[in-house]
Amino acid sequence: MTLIEEAKKGVLNKFIRRTAEYERVEADRLLRLIAKGHVVVPKNVIREVEPRAIGMLVSTKVNANVGTSQEYINVEEEVEKAVVAQKFGADAIMDLSTGGDLREIRKKIMKIVRVPFGTVPIYEAARDCRKIVDISEDEFLRAVEKHAKEGVDFMTIHAGVNWISVERLRNSKRLLGVVSRGGAITIGWMLHNEKENPYYANFDYLLDILKEYDVTISLGDAFRPGCINDAGDRAKYTEFIILGELVEKCRAKGVQCMVEGPGHVPLDGIFPAVRAMKSVTDNAPLYLLGPLVTDISAGYDHISSAIGAAIAGLAGADFICYVTPSEHLGLPSVEDVKEGVIAAKIAAHAVDLVKEGQKEWAKLRDYEMSLARKNFDWDKQFALSPDPEKARRIWERRRAKGDYCSMCGDLCAIKLVEQFAKDK
């Protein structure tokens, strides 16, 4: 039985008990949420991972993407990125490699990843063919099976692309069209071959493959807006509805699923988009790239993304895909990965401060930081910060003579009030 099938039967195994402990949620309550599909816990049956639950009541999670491109292949650097991403708190790692020996790259990255590991199988299907349009329907599905057999815990699959959604796209006034790489491959294949998307047409068989290895499917957002101009259009909302129908099929089949969402959305569009997705998918865990709240933040897209992620989390999003400073500019460096993870983790913590089931624990960390500041306990402050080494470097750069920092010096507000209280 898959994890969701066991949950429906009330089977509380050791892994779910461990997950409940990690999430600080009652095990029986977590089991009920998994049974309903409101929480997923990605784990391939052949792989051991640290438990990470995604969805209602559990902590807001962060994913980090790594992987080569056809322009730059350095496997050791991608492995280092995965190590750094986990060090700074990534709850999941996805390998999006498109250049080099993809199987070997995946194997090396997966070897050091302790948290759930994800891929996008269609990238490999496209790479293995001379031309994208020459991919056979069997190759679409074989790529999924190959990744499942290797131990991949969750996969992004753009099954919500069909002729209905493609027609909405054709009739739209989009500026950037399709910016999803997997979505573009699928749509290009459909238009050239004049056939239905193999992942949509063969969805039941696809679920059979995933179920055998208990792989969680992440229903990809092929029509996510790539700029503010394209946010909230009919093509995107058409895909929302189709994904909702696919969620029902996943749950009935006994396959865990989550849903992916928009990429660029203005501030006032985030709540409607998230609430709509949650409604049509019956509260399936929602996985968002950002969303970025402006198009002009090149070099600082991790900040634009963190702003959007915090608002999206407040609206009900569960899983944040980090964005690095390199977004829209180039393949991220190790330092970019670190900055992207930290920005996303800050957004996730901000969400957890007000999230039912997590706010008590999140507020405790903030209280501990405030107490450390009151007591001028710098070591504690460093330890509680997202990057202790950086925090210490900043503090030491212009170190004050006393306990206080160099911002206020003798005019430290906390120090002054304490001194006035003592004088009385």
- Digit-coded pLDDT (tens) for 17-74: 999 999 999 999 999 999 999 999 999 999 999 999 999 999 999 999 999 999 999 9
Q: With helix as H, strand as E and coil as C, how does 335-385 read?
A: HHHHHHHHHHHHHHHHHHCCCCCCHHHHHHHHHHHHHHHHCCCHHHHHHHC
Which uninterrupted H or E stretch holds 93? strand 92-95
Distance set, CA 348 to CA 193, 264, 298, 343 (Å): 42, 18, 22, 9
Q: What is the DSSP letter of 264?
A: B
Spell out the long-range contacts of 29-37 with Cβ–Cβ below 8 A and sequence spacing 24 or more. 29/57, 30/57, 30/58, 31/7, 32/7, 33/57, 34/3, 34/4, 34/7, 34/256, 35/4, 35/7, 35/8, 36/283, 37/4, 37/247, 37/250, 37/251, 37/256, 37/257, 37/282, 37/283, 37/284
Q: What is the pLDDT of residue 403?
A: 73
Q: How confident is the model at residue 130 (pLDDT cuts 50, 70, 90)?
A: confident
d(CA 269, CA 108): 40
**Cα distances (angstroms) measured from residue 10 to each of 256, 261, 311, 313:** 16, 31, 34, 29
Q: Which two tokens stand for residue 127?
A: 């790479």
The CB density around residue 125, as the number of other CB atoms within 10 Å, is: 24
Domains of the chain: 41-354 (3.20.20.540), 390-423 (no CATH)
pLDDT tens across 302-337, in order?
Answer: 999 999 999 999 999 999 999 999 999 999 999 999
Residue 319 near residue 351 (C-beta atoms within 8 A): no
Q: What is the reported pLDDT for 420? A: 63
pLDDT computed for residue 424 by the predictor: 57
What's the pLDDT score for residue 155? 98
Q: Is the CB of residue 132 less than 8 Å from the CB of residue 167?
A: no
Q: How many residues does the chain have?
A: 424
Distance CA 173, CA 409 (A): 57
Q: Record the pTM.
A: 0.95
pLDDT averaged over every residue in the chain: 95
The proportion of the chain whose per-residue pLDDT surpasses 70, expressed as a percent, equals 97
Beta-carbon contacts of 5 under 8 Å, excluding residues fewer than 6 positions away, are 254
Render pLDDT for 168-204 as a digit per residue (tens, 0 to 9).
Answer: 999 998 999 999 999 999 999 999 999 999 999 999 9
Dist. CA 145–CA 155, nearest whole Å? 11
pLDDT band at 353, cuts 50/70/90?
very high
pLDDT at 399: 79
Least confident of 100-104, 206-210, 283-287, 406-410: 406-410
Confidence at 93, pLDDT banded by 50, 70, 90: very high
Greater pLDDT, 398 or 156: 156
Residues 218-277 pLDDT 10s: 999 999 999 999 998 999 999 999 999 999 999 999 999 999 998 999 999 999 999 999
Helix 14-23 with 27-36: angle, nearest 10 deg: 110
Q: How confident is the model at residue 416 (pLDDT cuts 50, 70, 90)?
A: low
The whole-number pLDDT of residue 232 equals 87
CB 36 within 8 A of CB 7: no
In this predicted structure, what is the pLDDT of residue 197? Answer: 98
Look at residue 421 and tell me whether its pLDDT is greater than 70.
Answer: no
Q: Report, as an integer, the average pLDDT of 121-142.
A: 93
- Kindly state the percentage of the chain with pLDDT values over 90: 90
- Report, as an integer, the average pLDDT of 120-138: 93
404 or 167, which is more confident:
167
Predicted local confidence at residue 276, as pLDDT: 94
The CA dihedral of 199, 118, 270, 168, to the nearest 10 degrees, is: -20
Amino acid at 64: A
280: nearest Cα among 254, 323, 316: 316
pLDDT(417) > 90: no
pLDDT digits (tens, 9 = 90+) for 292-305: 999 999 999 999 99
92, β-bridge pairs: 63
The pair of three-digit structure tokens given for residue 350, joined into one six-digit string: 């901000």
3-state secondary structure of 63: strand
